[in-house]
Structure 1
Amino acid sequence: NNIPIWWKYGFAISIVFAVTYLYTYHVAYSKPLQQEELRIDMQAAAARHALYLENAANNIDENNVKLLGADDIAAGKALFIKPGACATCHGENGSGIVNGVAGIGPNLT
């Protein structure tokens, strides 16, 4: 039985692709391999993160924070201790102690 012509062309194209890939990445080193590309991207991300932290370091201070009243604080406490919310892991007072045992959430106080 003869093989379909499209299969023969696909096979030939895959061989050409393999040779081109091998030459580009492993002989000429004109493009980085996966690990090198990851290292480059991680360095770029670290630089962007450092720049962000440098610019965002003083965004919040005592002059631009809105002080909350007693009603807002009570509403926040109600959200915190609601079943299935923050207090489940951090304890009702944020200490990380849930029912006398260390919870899975860290101490927030």
Structure 2
Amino acid sequence: MLWKRRKVHPLQIGIIIIDPKLIKMDNKDKFLEENEHLMSDHDYDGIRELNNPMPTWWRYLFYLSIIFAAVYMFRYHVFGDDLQIDEYNKEMALAEANKPKQAFDENNLSILSDAASLDAGKVIYSKNCIACHGKAGEGNAIGPNLTDKYWLNGGGVAEVYHIIKVGKPLKGMLAWQHQLSPEQMLQVTSYVLSLQGSNPPNGKAPQGELVE
């Protein structure tokens, strides 16, 4: 059977091609008409926006972030609370203060020359040593002069520390190792040695051997 070829008018082809688009446009217009209440009032050159608000949880999270930022600003930048760097510095200072001290080595003593140690030694001397050695170390009827270069038991830091520690009971010198800590004994030792050459009035005559 032979089919007769039918001539198709160009307009018919155009309609066939355009029809799907027209259908889509019709659907779009229908959607807009049915959901007019969802449209916002914004209109930009014929382009309109859907009124599609953010999720409620997202909005509340945004509000909380604003509140947090305000509290943070007033607490740390207005009222002067410690920032992280300040807290870090305080923690480091506390750790340094609580760091275990090195064991006191009595075999490796050296004179303390800082003002704090000498002041502490002076307090110990004033409390415990004035009765036998005088207020300025000038000596008296009981104890020798501590300001000259003559010593009965050696004038080095180790010798003076040792005599303070164990004393001279037969001569009336108490042993201070049970009343004072090693650090305190070194402080008073350093203070006594700092009196060298002070030449206070009414100094007792030299006793012992000359130590240069």
- Between Structure 1 and Structure 2, the one with more helix by share is 1
How high is the TM-score relative to the length of structure 2? 0.24
Q: Which has the larger radius of gyration?
A: 2
Structure having greater relative contact order (Cα 8 Å, sep ≥ 6)? 2
